[in-house]
Structure 1
């Protein structure tokens, strides 16, 4: 039971007050799980150490000049509340990209909706379709994986149903592990965070058929779809739109993490439900950000150049890991590499991350991404090409 505490009022009288009661989901979240890593990083930064940050997936390549200019020129003298639906021009620009990139024809009026970044959209999507009173309120998702699927499920009254992903399956979420009697929503995320694993066309077709047969809402996190070398990753919308939403982002494709802009697309009925929900949570993209997003979705040249740079970084690390005998998941998708902890660290990913940190190399321990992540570290290809070379030089001494 919570203990009472003494507080002073404005008249300096002492009275008792109970501790603040939080949402149980917030209380269960706990504190930062990798405290030792964070503390040591702060110490090193305080001593002026040079750090190469491959931990947080926040690319350093500049946002295109045309995109920045579009935002600046759209800032009005008088700012008005934005609409949830966003501008027709933005939705048309996104639909144009979806047609060019995936061969999918969208109705920009009913099948596309802007969002303030994919994280916000992914979290809030659960609230439109789940409630604690529902008999079927399970949310299935792969682990290790992006933690927002679970958090959105918990806060909305859903039941998290994690499915552990395995390397021998290519980190593809096996549909035979999904219980259709419990599952209302299935999340897939390919190219995958944190492993970088891609999905085959055969797999996406299988998932689409399974969800259609069992009336499961299929949500596809496609934030890394336009970061690849070689074969372009497919979208779930190439296989189905029925009870399906794809979540697409400009953060990595266009270097717009700080702009907070993304799109939801798919089933018109699901998009309509999101339009009803989003005014209640105040989620509407500012018009000047929409202008920048419209320019980004309309321009493919900058995304191609960013893919070239990420490909150069990826090739450097793949060559190093191969020559050093360090295990990793070969992938040409996303800008992550999923790296095995060497045997001498007995699969302790936090210990390995701490050792790398002593060389100025920041990586994310796999255990931070949930069950199945232990024994790996995630390398986000964030620093520039030359800094990647310098970091590899340091890593080779570990």
Structure 2
């Protein structure tokens, strides 16, 4: 069976008319919609890429499961940044061509199809639902932390977790995650936790003096207090796109239940889903260079604080998110498209909440330059 049909409101071309309005602003358009990094790739990553440009893993076919060096660095990164001992859990790892590939193919790689149900957050990244549709399975949108809302639903085979959340920034604590894991295991469902923003947790800023403490604040689905010392039925997704500005490198990973990853690896070998050799070397450098991650993280924190101030000045009920890179704010008019047009007349473009499941909200991205974010705040406060 091929991919099943899918439908989604997630279509950036729908912003074209607003962008025309914004582009006519005397001082130009400021785009705070798509969460695409704008800052420089760390020097360590660029040097590693260049050094690997003519290595055997570049002129020869790269290894689908990743080089020994890459797999070892992923294990060390989980231990150092997330407090997770993958080896003690018996967990496996697979590098992926960006996290979107893993998200969109996850239901299919797990063998889901007609009659199977995938639980996902009611407000969430739209590719979760698109991937479920591609597999021919059904979506149940719920408050995932409220396990009673889905654990007795017939056919539930997979549960999406996203913490910190895109777009809301919500962070689930270890108690909530453990309840999700326990409920899913009782019904034989797989929990897939999208943790791409895990190192961007803004809740403990005031009392934290250690960079390591700040970077490891968000609980991981594979943490001992969450998983009970076993990776069974659990998969964790992570990406270097935001932490290291490597979106174009397509460097991400899946870690967790090796019994689930083994069949996935077999399929990926046959369809050529492989990170290029030089990019595998660059990924090693990105995972090692936590100092660069801390610098980038602080940029995003400052930008979010600036956006919150500007939005408040414009009359929005804006607050600093618990985590991730976006301010999720209710539209003043009650309709995202009306507010989007109003903001476009200021030369500012944001994302409509309809893309993520709630047309009464807007998503404002901090993935713009310092100058652009500060200009946007000035316009909002004018």
1:175 equivalent to 2:175? Answer no
Partner of residue 353 from structure 2, selected from 359, 366, 369: 366
Paired residue for 1:216?
189
Question: Aligned equivalents of 1:81 and 1:98: distance in 2?
Answer: 27
Paired residue for 2:373?
388
Question: Aligned equivalents of 2:263 and 2:4: distance in 1?
Answer: 27
Paired residue for 2:364?
379
Q: 1:204 to 1:23 in 2, by over 3 A?
A: closer
Question: Aligned equivalents of 1:277 and 1:48: distance in 2?
Answer: 52
* Partners of 1:356 and 1:362 within 8 A in 2: yes
Normalising by structure 1, report the TM-score. Answer: 0.84
Q: 1:57 to 1:357 in 2, by over 3 A?
A: same
Match of 1:295, SS?
helix
Paired residue for 2:219?
234
Normalising by structure 2, report the TM-score. Answer: 0.88
Question: Aligned equivalents of 2:155 and 2:240: distance in 1?
Answer: 33
1:85 equivalent to 2:75? Answer no
1:202 equivalent to 2:175? Answer yes
CA displacement, residues 180-206 of structure 1 (integer Å, 9 cap, x when unaligned): 422100001010001111111211111
Shift of 1:251: 0.4
Q: What does 1:121-270 correspond to in 2, within 5 Å?
A: 121-132=102-113, 137-163=116-142, 165=143, 173-178=145-150, 179-229=152-202, 230=204, 232-238=217-223, 239-240=226-227, 241-270=231-260
Shift of 1:359: 1.1
Shift of 1:140: 0.9
Match of 2:107, SS?
helix
Question: Aligned equivalents of 1:201 and 1:69: distance in 2?
Answer: 38
RMSD over aligned CA atoms reads: 2.4
Question: Aligned equivalents of 1:326 and 1:352: distance in 2?
Answer: 11
Match of 2:36, SS?
coil
Q: 1:208 to 1:391 in 2, by over 3 A?
A: same
Paired residue for 2:307?
317
Match of 1:181, SS?
coil
Question: Aligned equivalents of 1:131 and 1:368: distance in 2?
Answer: 24
Shift of 1:23: 6.6
Question: Aligned equivalents of 1:196 and 1:31: distance in 2?
Answer: 19
Paired residue for 2:326?
336
Paired residue for 2:276?
286
Question: Aligned equivalents of 1:309 and 1:23: distance in 2?
Answer: 40
Shift of 1:46: 7.8
Question: Aligned equivalents of 1:269 and 1:305: distance in 2?
Answer: 37
Paired residue for 1:9?
none
Paired residue for 1:354?
341
Match of 1:111, SS?
strand
CA displacement, residues 343-370 of structure 1 (integer Å, 9 cap, x when unaligned): xx2x111110111111111100101112
Shift of 1:104: 0.9
* Partners of 1:115 and 1:263 within 8 A in 2: yes
Q: Mark the runs of 5 or more structure 1 residues left unpaired by the alignment.
A: 1-21, 166-171
Match of 1:184, SS?
strand
* Partners of 1:61 and 1:255 within 8 A in 2: yes
Deviates most, 247-256 or 225-234: 225-234
Shift of 1:246: 0.2
Question: Aligned equivalents of 2:26 and 2:307: distance in 1?
Answer: 26
Question: Aligned equivalents of 1:329 and 1:205: distance in 2?
Answer: 27
Question: Aligned equivalents of 1:391 and 1:46: distance in 2?
Answer: 15
* Partners of 1:130 and 1:157 within 8 A in 2: no
Structure with more contact order per residue of length (Cα contacts < 8 Å, sep ≥ 6): 2
Greater C-alpha radius of gyration: 1
* Partners of 2:195 and 2:238 within 8 A in 1: yes
Shift of 1:98: 0.4
Q: 1:33 to 1:74 in 2, by over 3 A?
A: closer
CA displacement, residues 293-333 of structure 1 (integer Å, 9 cap, x when unaligned): 00011121011111111111122223334455421354241
Paired residue for 1:107?
87
Deviates most, 45-54 or 266-275: 45-54
1:50 equivalent to 2:39? Answer no
